[in-house]
Structure 1
Amino acid sequence: MPASSQRPNIIFIVADDLGYADLGCYGGRAPVSPVLDSLAAQGLRFTQGYSNSPVCSPTRFAMITARYQYRLRGAAEEPINSKSRGSTTLGLPTEHPTLPSLLKASGYNTALIGKWHLGYPPVFGPLRSGYDEFFGPMSGGVDYFTHCDSRGTHDLWFGEDEHRQDGYLTDLLSDRAVDWVGRMAPDAAQGKPFFLSLHYTAPHWPWETRDDEALAQEVKDNLFHLHGGNIHSYRRMIHHMDEGIGRVMAALRQHGLADNTLVVFTSDNGGERFSDNWPLVGGKMDLTEGGIRVPWIAHWPAAIAPGQVSEQHCLTMDWSATMLDAAGVSAHPDYPLDGVSLMPVLRGATPAFERPMFWRMNHRGQRAARLGDWKYLRVDGHDYLFNLVADERERANHASREPERLAELRAAWEAWNASMPPIPDDATVSLGYGVKDMPQR
């Protein structure tokens, strides 16, 4: 375990519904992300990184536990919605060790600024699962100005108290993050590091930019904003988030903390309506590549050489395991991690190691496995086999041409699935998304 004074500060930045190719460093078609592009250029960018789920709250269960989300009942909801207020089962059990609780026990200051989406107080909540401080919404999506959820309930909190504050939510989260870094800087300088989860709601619906406060009344009864939005407002939402991240990085530099702070950026799942996922097919709620392959950027000047690009396969929970490893913190013995530390990759080790990955979704009976270059996918009872190195768009189905390989990957998925709890019969799925335009068998 590294000496306390050498342990890094950690900032885990998560966008919401960001597409694989929305950022400039991933081929984006508009200059919306100069700060993130610079972090990638000065650090490490992953091209074969995935989310644990193609929908938000299941990924967040994996992110906070460093374990497959399927181990917890709440993650069977795809996703948890505002109707779960008052539930005693649909949330993150407070007795379960988490990334923040393990870091806190080892001496880290901890905070979540942004989206929680893992159950509601008084049974669940960030302060009950390892965070010293919380500011943000509890639910999956809120209006950027009124801060009301899809049921019209005000949903902005400080700790477990409802908090009313005027302002564009993306900016409020950035402001609070800058403030928190400044307040933690003296401790960090004295060898007590910090862990900040900065979980933006951008660019999740509704499609409102900083200048669109008038839209708040228009979308208050239709938070999904089905009749509105466009690629221009969507891109500006990303840019507002990027500006905020730039301010956080400036705060780190101001306090002399940038060199030994591990900053990780990703999205909770693939993109939605206005996202750019090129060259991938599908999006949110899909186990096609567009639903689960996401940006992963790591910046840590003390440990990561600049200008690195990796094809290492990884999942959300691997990054949580990596953060624990970077801090020299072990898992709770009763809750072994499913995540695999990427520290050797961050420190420049090559070649990349083999990382089998598995997914399942109640929605349309989806299942997927990736082993090496090959991916097994099932949708609506149809099996597909894709060589992703040759065919990232998943157009050429090899299932009938390579039945033995298909059987091998299917057997691997079945063996993994047998190690997980079954999907409960009462688990619900949010409709309105789903796999489209799949090739014929």
Structure 2
Amino acid sequence: MQRKPVVLAIVFFFGVLLPGISISRAVAAERPNVIVIMSDDQGGGDYGFMGNPVIRTPELDAMHRRSGFLSKFYVSPVCAPTRACLMTGRYNYRTRCIDTYIGRAMMDSDEVTIAEFLRDAGYRTGIYGKWHMGDNYPLRAMDQGFQDSLVHRGGGIGQPSDPVGAEGKYTDPTLIKNGEETPMKGYCTDLYFDAAMDFIDESARADKNFFTYIATNAPHGPFHDVPEALYQEYRKVDFSPILVNQLNPKRLEQESDKLARIAAMITNIDQNVGRLFKKLDALGLSENTIVVYLNDNGPNTMRYVGDMRGMKSHVDDGGIRSPLVFHWPAKVAAGRSSDVLSAHIDLLPTLLDACGVAVPDGHKLDGRSFLPLLTGDATSLPRRQIVLQTHRGNEPQRYHHFALHEEPWKLVHPTGFGKESFAGEPSFQLYDLSKDPRQSNNLAKQHPDVVQRLKQGYDAWFKDVSSTRPDNYAPPRIVIGTEHERRSVLTRQDWRHIQGRPWAGNSNGVWLLEAPEPGSYEVELIFASDPPAGTATITVGKLTETLEIPAGQRRGHVTDLSLPAGQLTLAVDVVFDGKTQGPHQVILTRRDK
């Protein structure tokens, strides 16, 4: 593993602070604290202040009234790409994080995150909730700058990366506390905010600046476990005002129940935001603490998105727009807003700008600071293009499922997130969003010159982001057997899929590993349900080990392997009733060190 270079300097009004020189208490007191809150699958219309007549968000509505606001803020169509862009200020295609699962939601460990920047600038850093860019060393949040970490694995609770015995538990979940599986009591969103407020309180008592990232997995599905009292309230609500499509009575009943569950989760987040502000008030920190709120992509159903169209996974505006609420009373006047084109890649440079942390020459960011728009130092910024592209597969395809924005234009090729590729020649759509936010009038034939110019811009962007590294889209590897993680839990979230549907019971895949040195390991195979009798073959390079799997036994299938140093591929082929599949999880534990 290569060490990351020192990439920052701290710049204050009186000069430059070199790395390694301590910051005086007086200087630190002038810097803002930072809290970023990002919900999961809450759409851009799921707020009272965005005109939603059904879902209650009184605390966020009040925050919006007290804050600065970006009304034209873009995110990626799905989870992990947005998170990579937000954490690095770089397009996710530069980071190797290109999809949401099967090894492609892992961010290269050489990327420098906002947590690393702020940690090295003297901030305490903590994450609470969803990371979704790698569950093992060196890819975890705790390896990427976060000094305190309470997270779930994978892309959400209720996925194959759940700790065994705690599958799907939003209430009383088992979370990962600084690398250790930790059973908790309470509802997951409440637990994240509780832990974040404890971290803030500890930081205040230590007289330390803090960066707190609260990334809820709500209102992401599954929807079986939601705040009960709020759910019962919303069951009585008529959701027809926020439905996009007409539904038959049975389907309407099902959709209304799902929306009641989603709305309950959203209002629960809102209540926690209110608790957070009360905590800041009690600590006397509200004035000089930046609190940012956004959602990671469009809504997880076809529902109200204001004057736009689309939902999660779409590159129409309803799938990639988020309100950006920026609360900083010390510098940003209540009610100040901007409609200048901005995106997730801009949040890191904006927060570093606010905190006086400069990115050195040679470290490439794609984003830019929008802080002058909110402080009143600027009413506009230079015209730019922003590209948002995400689809399934191991490597991005040119023109597949992208949107390019350059005010007022939107060039889009909506070929579908669920597909690995598209065939034939691209058929671009062009919209003037200043006149047509719902994208109803395709102007591509009327303005072929604009289409061609924006296409050239996209081509230059795609070439640039695809050439960041040699072998730019190679999946990152899990590093095993180090002091940082002696016990590595390998799940279907991060395997390289080779057979069946990726998470189906009969599917299979392999894990890409790296061992810095030879070592002796215990290998345990885990199954999601009681298996029939079978045989498992474990293969690592030229090493092969066979295990007999007794019927009805989910755990305890253990053997020892001596693994060499270097890049390794771990395969486990389990034969039940003449059919081959993979295990649910594999646990590798270093034994000789």
2:354 equivalent among 312, 315, 326: 326
Q: Shift of the alpha carbon at 1:149?
A: 5.5
2:311 pairs with 1:311? no
- Report the Cα distance in structure 1 between the residues aligned to 2:370 and 2:230, rounded to whole angstroms: 42
Counterpart for residue 211 of structure 1: 228
Counterpart for residue 184 of structure 1: 203
2:166 pairs with 1:162? no
Counterpart for residue 91 of structure 2: 68
Answer yes or no: is the 8 Å Cα contact 1:230–1:274 preserved in 2: no
Answer yes or no: is the 8 Å Cα contact 2:116–2:146 preserved in 1: yes
Answer yes or no: is the 8 Å Cα contact 1:118–1:138 preserved in 2: no
2:106 equivalent among 83, 91, 94: 91
2:26 pairs with 1:18? no
Answer yes or no: is the 8 Å Cα contact 1:178–1:247 preserved in 2: no
Counterpart for residue 421 of structure 1: 466
The 10-residue stretch of structure 1 (4-13 or 272-281) with the greater mean CA deviation from structure 2: 272-281
2:409 pairs with 1:377? no
Q: Shift of the alpha carbon at 1:212?
A: 8.1
1:108-119 paired onto structure 2 within 5 Å: 108-119=123-134
Q: Label 1:48 to 1:430 Cα distance change in 2 as closer, same or farther (>3 A).
A: farther
Q: Secondary structure of the residue that 1:156 maps to in structure 2?
A: strand
The gaps in structure 2 that reach 5 residues or longer are 1-10, 13-26, 232-253, 393-398, 416-425, 476-495, 504-593
**Counterpart of 1:76 in structure 2: which amino acid?**
I
Q: Shift of the alpha carbon at 1:157?
A: 0.7
Q: Secondary structure of the residue that 1:382 maps to in structure 2?
A: coil
Counterpart for residue 271 of structure 2: 243
Q: Label 1:180 to 1:282 Cα distance change in 2 as closer, same or farther (>3 A).
A: same
2:195 pairs with 1:195? no
Q: Secondary structure of the residue that 1:345 maps to in structure 2?
A: helix
**Counterpart of 2:463 in structure 1: which amino acid?**
A
- Report the Cα distance in structure 2 between the residues aligned to 1:383 and 1:47, rounded to whole angstroms: 26
Q: Shift of the alpha carbon at 1:418?
A: 1.3
- Report the Cα distance in structure 1 between the residues aligned to 2:151 and 2:408, rounded to whole angstroms: 39
Counterpart for residue 45 of structure 1: 69
1:355 equivalent among 381, 384, 387: 384
The gaps in structure 1 that reach 5 residues or longer are 215-225, 432-441
Counterpart for residue 484 of structure 2: none
- Report the Cα distance in structure 2 between the residues aligned to 1:203 and 1:135, rounded to whole angstroms: 18
- Report the Cα distance in structure 2 between the residues aligned to 1:268 and 1:430, rounded to whole angstroms: 23
Q: Secondary structure of the residue that 2:156 maps to in structure 1?
A: coil
The 10-residue stretch of structure 1 (360-369 or 341-350) with the greater mean CA deviation from structure 2: 360-369
TM-score of the two chains, using structure 1 as the length reference:
0.86
Q: Label 1:315 to 1:287 Cα distance change in 2 as closer, same or farther (>3 A).
A: same
> Which structure has the bigger radius of gyration?
2
Answer yes or no: is the 8 Å Cα contact 1:109–1:184 preserved in 2: yes
1:262 equivalent among 290, 310, 315: 290
Percent identity, aligned pairs only, is 29
Moved over 3 A (4+): 143-147, 226-229, 422-431
**Counterpart of 1:362 in structure 2: which amino acid?**
H
Counterpart for residue 436 of structure 1: none
Kindly indicate which of the two structures has a greater share of residues assigned to strand: 2
If asked which structure has higher relative contact order (CA below 8 Å, sep 6+), I would say 1
- Report the Cα distance in structure 2 between the residues aligned to 1:275 and 1:13, rounded to whole angstroms: 22
Q: Secondary structure of the residue that 1:352 maps to in structure 2?
A: coil
Q: Secondary structure of the residue that 1:401 maps to in structure 2?
A: coil
- Aligned-pair Cα RMSD in Å: 2.8
Which digits, 9 at most, give the CA deviation of each residue in 1:13-46, with x for residues without a partner?
Answer: 0010111111011111125111111111011122
